[in-house]
Amino acid sequence: MAEYKRPISESEFKKNFKLKKPLMNDTEAFYESSRCLFCYDAPCIEACPTGIDIPLFIKQIQTKNAEGAAKTIYDSNWLGNACGTICPTGVLCEGACVYNHQDVQPLQIGRLQNYATTSVIDADKKLYEAGTANGLKIAVIGAGPAGIACACEARVLGYEVDIFEAKENPTGLTVHGIAPYKITNEEVLKEFSFLQNQLGFTVHYNTAITTTAQIKDLEANYDAIFIGVGLGKTSKLGIEGENINGVIGAVEFIEELRMKHHLVQVPPKVIVLGGGNTAMDAASEAARMGANHVTLAYRRSKEEKGAYEFEYDLAKSAGVKGIFNCSPVEIIGKNNVEGVKFIKTQKFEGKLHPVQGTEFIVACDLVIKATGQAKQGDLYQLIDGLEIDNKTRITINSESFQTSNPKYFAGGDAINGGAEVVNAAYDGKMAAQGIHQWLTK
């Protein structure tokens, strides 16, 4: 039974995708900030991958200094506004809040962070300016969170920065991939413009770096190059029927939804394949687009799924039904998809095995594959001496973020294989510092 009616206008889309963490007003922020215990050795700082001084910015909010709070946040994390609403705070900063030990609701750190940063973005407060030009140039490949963070930090250090971006919009998966009930396109792009206006890096849109000639050109014209290209398209499943009409990758499905909103039509019966956070998002989003039956199918057990529990709960609350221990063997349909044939699985001696004779078919009109994203190996091959690991992740020095080719630095999903925006923001910032150390040593 559908929980959501199909949205046919932007206002209906917004209603179905109502923000999970709405912006706090001044009163809410004041009262919430007054709950902070300002712990010595605050565990929330440790739990934040960018190490924001959380008690300090909360104190600043409490003393009505939202601008100071925003500066504290941005000094550690260039994507401070986006992270406030999209970080999985329950397993990061808020998960570490001491209130959890007392059965008291942890402090809403993410929303407070979003409150402070939104106030400076809306007022277009100038918090930063580019450092004195040092005459050196950095090329950044990819305008995702990692690339943006690297560009901002490098500008403060006095470098000229050119970002080369394959798409027509900046911010990577933040605008193309993250669920619309976590953040809106407007919010993401507003933070980006806020940063670009004060720091003045250049972005060359619709400029994918894909050839050796382009790479040689970058090497000849820039003193250092940062790779922040994230991951690629959804990986192939390698089963029969995968190319039938009505089979789509989760990343591609979500990107279309983020760009076209209510103009995307989701049919009544949807099967999402996968057990990670992307699968939960795709299933939740299909349900919010008015699909009557959304089935999430994962080949392992419920306990083994990679997704955070809260993401699964969110999908269930949108009407998604999970089926576990079943693996897709064939996608069925003549011209359009009609269903998926599964086989039951069980674990034996630590390995997953199909159980012969247990095939069954679930009917559907759309299959969304959320079974992982391919890596950007084709690009990496173009770069001399660039070492990648056996999972096609770029190998870096964990302190400097320098790769095995000293002119190149890297960060974000390209080095970790897929994590969170906050990790990419940290990597980009640290890589700019690494570049600075290398070029000025």
Ligand X SMILES: Cc1cc2nc3c(=O)[nH]c(=O)nc-3n(C[C@H](O)[C@H](O)[C@H](O)COP(=O)(O)OP(=O)(O)OC[C@H]3O[C@@H](n4cnc5c(N)ncnc54)[C@H](O)[C@@H]3O)c2cc1C
Q: What are phi and psi of 391, to 5 degrees?
A: -110, 20
Considering only 66, 69, 70, 83, the residue that binds ligand SF4 (CB under 6 A) is: 83
Query: Smallest distance from the beta carbon of 282 to ligand SF4, in angstroms?
Result: 23
Applying the rule CB under 6 A, the residues between 306 and 345 that interact with ligand X are none
**Where do we find the tokens 């700082």?**
45
Query: Smallest distance from the beta carbon of 222 to ligand X, in angstroms?
Result: 14
Q: Does 412 bind ligand X (CB under 6 A)?
A: yes
Cα separation, 309 vs 67, whole angstroms = 35
113 binds, among ligand X, ligand SF4, none (CB under 5 to 8 A by kind): ligand SF4
Q: Does 87 bind ligand X (CB under 6 A)?
A: yes
Q: Does 33 bind ligand SF4 (CB under 6 A)?
A: no
69 binds, among ligand SF4, ligand X, none (CB under 5 to 8 A by kind): none
Q: Does 109 bind ligand SF4 (CB under 6 A)?
A: yes
Q: What are phi and psi of 298, to 5 degrees?
A: -130, 140
Considering only 208, 237, 248, 332, the residue that binds ligand X (CB under 6 A) is: 208
Query: Strand 337-348 vs strand 326-333: parallel, antiparallel, or unpaired?
Result: antiparallel
CA proximity to 394, closest of 135, 385, 162, 47: 385
Using the minimum distance from each CB to ligand SF4, give the nearer residue, 127 or 218. Answer: 127
Q: Does 145 bind ligand X (CB under 6 A)?
A: yes
Q: Does 162 bind ligand X (CB under 6 A)?
A: no
Q: Does 52 bind ligand SF4 (CB under 6 A)?
A: yes
Q: Does 172 bind ligand X (CB under 6 A)?
A: yes
The encoded tokens of residue 409 equal 């630095």
SS3 for 16? helix
Using the minimum distance from each CB to ligand X, give the nearer residue, 181 or 194. Answer: 181
Using the minimum distance from each CB to ligand X, give the nearer residue, 29 or 431. Answer: 431
Query: Strand 269-273 vs strand 293-297: parallel, antiparallel, or unpaired?
Result: parallel
| Cα dihedral 71→76→77→81 (10° resolution) | -30
Q: Does 421 bind ligand X (CB under 6 A)?
A: yes
- 21-29, 61-69, 137-145, 324-332 -> range binding ligand X (CB under 6 A): 137-145
Query: Smallest distance from the beta carbon of 41 to ligand X, in angstroms?
Result: 25
Query: Smallest distance from the beta carbon of 370 to ligand SF4, in angstroms?
Result: 24
* Residues whose CB falls within 8 Å of the CB of residue 355, separated by 6 or more in sequence, listed in order: 343, 344, 345, 346
- 4-12, 49-57, 138-146, 380-388 -> range binding ligand SF4 (CB under 6 A): 49-57
142 binds, among ligand SF4, ligand X, none (CB under 5 to 8 A by kind): ligand X
- Burial of residue 248 (number of CB atoms within 10 Å: 0-12, 13-18, 19+): middle
Using the minimum distance from each CB to ligand SF4, give the nearer residue, 49 or 170. Answer: 49
Q: E-assigned strands of 247-404?
A: 247-249, 269-273, 293-297, 321-323, 326-333, 337-348, 351-354, 360-363, 366-369
Query: Smallest distance from the beta carbon of 228 to ligand SF4, in angstroms?
Result: 18
Applying the rule CB under 6 A, the residues between 112 and 131 that interact with ligand SF4 are 113
Using the minimum distance from each CB to ligand SF4, give the nearer residue, 95 or 268. Answer: 95
Cα separation, 174 vs 145, whole angstroms = 7
In this structure, the number of other CB atoms found within 10 A of the CB of residue 439 comes to 14
Query: Smallest distance from the beta carbon of 341 to ligand X, in angstroms?
Result: 26
Say if residues 158 and 151 touch (Cβ distance below 8 Å). no
The encoded tokens of residue 226 equal 């940062």
Tally: H helices and E strands in the chain: 18, 14
Q: How far is CA 97 from CA 76, 78, 104, 307, in A?
A: 19, 23, 10, 22
Positions that interact with ligand X (CB under 6 A): 86-87, 141-147, 164-167, 172-174, 177-178, 182, 208-210, 228-230, 251, 254, 278, 281, 376, 379, 412-414, 419-422, 424
Positions that interact with ligand SF4 (CB under 6 A): 48, 50, 52, 54, 77, 83-84, 87, 89, 92-93, 109-110, 113, 422
